[in-house]
Amino acid sequence: MRRFYERHHRVVRTQYRPMHLHAYGLSEQKDLAYRLNLTSRLSTDSDGIAVCLGLQAETKVELGKIVEQIEWKISKDTLFQLG
């Protein structure tokens, strides 16, 4: 995503709405406890997310549309579940 964003998006500072994406990993410690680790971070804006999701045809993308596209692309296997 980082390479795609850097090549295809230029930030227009008129209405900058920052978005931050964080990826985490869960690792088992020596004492058999689990630790949540930040593995990567990306920052962009709503226009950059729209381009990555293939929504570049619209000039104004609503947050709900972005969330809908992200949820559609997430596998059920990646959902966090306790117990």
Q: What would the two tokens of residue 28 be?
A: 């088992």
CA angle 35, 41, 50 (to 5 degrees): 130
Its domain, for residue 43, covers 2-74
In a domain, 64, yes or no: yes
In a domain, 22, yes or no: yes
Give tens-digit pLDDT for 1-51: 555 555 455 544 445 677 787 889 988 889 988 998 999 988 887 777 777
Nearest to 44 by CA among 61, 21, 23, 66: 21
Domain count, the chain: 1
pLDDT number for residue 6: 54
In a domain, 60, yes or no: yes
In a domain, 51, yes or no: yes
In a domain, 83, yes or no: no
Q: What would the two tokens of residue 33 be?
A: 């406890």
In a domain, 79, yes or no: no
